[in-house]
Every structure is written in structure tokens, then in C-alpha cells.
Amino acid sequence: METFAPIVLFLFVLFLLLGTGVWVGLALLGVAFVGMELFTSRPAGDAMMTVIWASSSSWTLTALPLFIWMGEILYRTRLSEDMFRGLSPWMARLPGGLLHTNVVGCTVFAAVSGSSAATLTTVGKMSVPELRKRNYPEKMVIGTLAGAATLGLMIPPSLTLIVYGVTVNESITKLFMAGILPGLVLAALFMGYIAIYSKLARDYEPTPEPRMTFAEKLANSRFLAPVMLLIIAVIGSMYLGYATATEAAAIGVIGALVLAASQGSLTPRAFGESLMGATRTSAMVALILAGAAFLSLSMGFTGLPRALATFIGSLELSRFELLMALLVFYIIIGCFLDGISSVVLTMAVVEPMVRAAGIDLLWFGIFIVVVVEMAQITPPIGFNLFVLQGMTRHEMTYIARAALPMFAIMVVMVFLLISMPELATWLPENARSIP
């Protein structure tokens, strides 16, 4: 019963604060403060100051605002139009046609963005008008875009992986490497679904694209060159061991600024907007991380994580049963919180369980990201659904139904990861000189 008292109190205060509209970061700080005051003798104010400073001064965390700024800069370029011109000639002849530009476009942009929302907005403003013009089924246009945009959370640079790595003290560069193969496999699953749907659905009659010669396709591919060079510079520098995640982020920002300047998009106004957008997002994430760090300390003093880990251990769940329980848990919590909040809020309790079960934390990071991706397209708080609603003016229920097949594909991806853990572990184990 002693263990249940702090659990009930933590949950009551947390949901009370969140329900009254308090920011997630401040809600976490409030819960932790109450817990420290009631269950420990340590001065809560001194502990809060120490922990917030320690969590905010991490060098690893420097990569976060840089990658966010890189995505903000690219969002304000003509990148989306150029990507469509470069991709569409190659996608037109595939089963499913230009719908594949949603998936491939999101995959490419995810490799230079790190944000699901930025990926969705950039690729969506490019593809939705063009696909509607060509008479593609509206549900497929919206559903594939909602699902594919979540690749921004997995394919490096991923903001969620940075936050996870900082929270559990895991190498950010290794986590980035671990996300590449699962991200590509998930993109392939999305494309496979499009191909099958195009063959089976009766309402699939898009306007055919004019045929192009191989030389014309190659000529159009020049529009993809700038973004591909940026991807190679950012990810290649980490993969080959020339740069840490933070240094690669700095390379990405410089590359994005050069790309924007070469396109004539780097106006003083666009530069200022990108800087302010990155500052707002970075401050939000930093506040959540500070709150989570203080909550972890508070929980540690109460003995709650250790008690819960012991309780889970006493149930003698197999590794698979524990992962299934966590899958359901994160899907439920993801209905009410965004991905980064879900990770930092729960990791103080979940990490001891995962370590006790002998689960590789590198692999578990990718597992968490796939499940958090599902939360991006589940009502009522699925962030991608809100972005799509603002972009397309459809009802939330319509968008959620359109995205449901993508949710099912992500569930399949979870089981693929469990059955083939090498998807996440092979690349970081074999990459050369990862710092």
C-alpha cells in the first residue's frame, strides 16, 4: 500500500494539471515538486534547480535545436516543389503511381528534418494539390501522407531519438544508425500497401502520366541533387565517424542555409522566422526534458520506479509479454500526449523494467519510436491528424479512418522488429568508428 500512495498522488496531480491546460513541462515540474515535498526530506527547490541545470546543460542536447533549425530553414525553401518534379517521373510507372511520392518524399525529407510535423507540412503542400488534380482517391492521398510523415520520427535526424538518447544516456549517433533500416523497411511496407490497393480497389482510376524517356527522367532528377547532397553530408559524416550528432547537425544547418540561399529563399524575413520557429520548438522540448528530469529524481526518492520494476519482475512476464504490455501502454498514453512527452514522462519507470528484462536499450529506442509514430495518427491528440485537418479541411474522423491502414502497418512493423531485432542493431554494430 505504501507504493500505491505516491502512484495515486503523482497521477492525480499530473492529470489535474494537464486537464486544466498547463503546459506539459510545467505539469511535470509541478508533479515532481509535490512528490518531493510530501515524500522526501530533501529541499524541493534546491533539488529542482540542480536537476534542471544538469539536464539543460548536456552537450548532447545541442544537436536538438540545430536539427530543428535545419528543418525550419528547409521548410521555407522551394524544396517541396523540386522534390515532386524529381520524384514523379520515377514513381509514375510503379503500381499505385504518384501516390508513392507521398512515401518517398516523406522518407527523403525525414532524412533532413527530424520532425514529423515539418515532414507532413512540406511534402503535403507539394503532393496533395498535385494528386487531387490527377484524380487519386482522396482517402489514399490523406492516409498515405499521414502514415508516411511519421517517418520523420525514425529516419535520422530524429528529434524523438535525440530525446530518448539523452533520457537513457545512449549514444545519439548509434540510435540514428539504428533507425535507418527500420525506417526504410516501414517505407517499403507503405509502398507495398499502395501497390496492392491500386490493383484491388475499384475506385482507383487516376489520370495517367505522359510517358517520359529515360534521358528526360534523368534530367528531372537534377532537382533532387541538393537535398540528396545534404542527406549524404549529414548522415554520411556520422556513419563514417567524421562527426558526432551535434557536429552533423551544424553541418546540416550550414548546408540548409546554402541551399536556401542558392534558391533565393533566404530572405531576412524567412531567416528570422526559421530562427524563431526553431527557438520556440527547442524551448518547448527543453522545458519538457527539464520537467521529466526533475520527475525522475522525485520518483527515485520515493522508490517508485524500483518498486514498479520489482512488481513487474514478480509477474515473471516473458520478454515478448512485457513488450506487448508496453505496446498497449504506449498506444493508450499516445492518445493523450505527443511523442516526446510520452517518452520522457514514462522512461523513469520503464527503463528499469527494460534493463531487468535484458532488452537492448538501443533496440528498445527504435521500438519506442515505432509505437510513438502510431500515436501521431491516433485520435484525439494525434498531431499529424491536426496538421492534416488544417491542410485539407476534412473532419478529424475522416482523416483518422483514412490513416487506419497505416496504423495497422506500423503494428506489423513492431512484430517485425521483435522477430528480427537485427533490423535495428546490425547497422550500429557494424558501422565504422561511431563516436
Residue bearing cell 550528432? 245
Judged by DSSP in three states, 120 sits in helix
Q: Which pLDDT score is estimated for 114?
A: 67
Answer whether residue 11 is part of any domain.
no
Answer whether residue 12 is part of any domain.
no
Q: Is the pLDDT confidence value at 435 over 80?
A: no
pLDDT grade, residue 6 (50/70/90)?
low
193: containing domain: 30-35+43-430
| Average pLDDT score over residue span 385-414 | 85
Answer whether residue 7 is part of any domain.
no
Average confidence score pLDDT of the chain:
81
Q: What is the pTM of this model?
A: 0.77
| Average pLDDT score over residue span 30-35 | 82
Residue bearing cell 537513457? 168
Q: Which pLDDT score is estimated for 187?
A: 92
Positive or negative CA dihedral for 382, 375, 248, 355? Answer: positive
d(CA 156, CA 184): 11
Q: Which pLDDT score is estimated for 43?
A: 80
Answer whether residue 201 is part of any domain.
yes
Q: Is the pLDDT confidence value at 333 over 50?
A: yes
Q: Is the pLDDT confidence value at 4 over 60?
A: no
| Average pLDDT score over residue span 393-401 | 84
332, amino acid identity: I
What digits encode the pLDDT tens for the residues 181-220? 999 999 999 999 999 998 888 778 787 777 777 788 888 8
pLDDT grade, residue 69 (50/70/90)?
confident
Half-sphere exposure of 266 (CA within 13 A, CB side): 14
Q: Which pLDDT score is estimated for 112?
A: 74
pLDDT, greater one: 51 or 184: 184
| Average pLDDT score over residue span 74-86 | 76
| Average pLDDT score over residue span 239-256 | 83
pLDDT grade, residue 18 (50/70/90)?
low
165 and 147 Cβ atoms separated by less than 8 Å = no
What digits encode the pLDDT tens for the residues 339-378? 777 787 778 778 888 887 888 999 999 998 888 888 778 7
Q: Which pLDDT score is estimated for 16?
A: 80
Q: Which pLDDT score is estimated for 367?
A: 93
Q: Which of 107, 143, 105, 155 is nearest to 127 (CA)?
A: 105
Q: Which pLDDT score is estimated for 244?
A: 80
Answer whether residue 4 is part of any domain.
no
Report in angstroms the alpha-carbon separations of 38 from 43, 50, 152, 301: 11, 19, 41, 11
d(CA 172, CA 162): 6
Answer whether residue 13 is part of any domain.
no
Q: Which of 160, 173, 166, 190 is nearest to 366 (CA)?
A: 160
Q: Which pLDDT score is estimated for 338?
A: 66
Q: Which pLDDT score is estimated for 15?
A: 72
Report in angstroms the alpha-carbon separations of 8 from 11, 15, 163, 210, 364: 5, 11, 27, 63, 27
pLDDT grade, residue 433 (50/70/90)?
very low
Q: Which pLDDT score is estimated for 32?
A: 81
Q: Which pLDDT score is estimated for 381?
A: 61
116 and 382 Cβ atoms separated by less than 8 Å = no
Q: Which of 54, 21, 9, 1 is nearest to 299 (CA)?
A: 9
With vertex at residue 122, the alpha carbon angle to CA 381 and CA 377, rounded to the nearest 5 degrees, is: 25
What digits encode the pLDDT tens for the residues 116-152? 777 777 788 778 888 888 888 889 989 999 888 888 7
Q: Is the pLDDT confidence value at 164 over 80?
A: yes
pLDDT grade, residue 1 (50/70/90)?
very low
Domain count, the chain: 1
| Average pLDDT score over residue span 89-94 | 82
pLDDT, greater one: 51 or 148: 148
Q: Which pLDDT score is estimated for 329?
A: 81
Answer whether residue 155 is part of any domain.
yes
What digits encode the pLDDT tens for the residues 98-109? 888 889 888 887
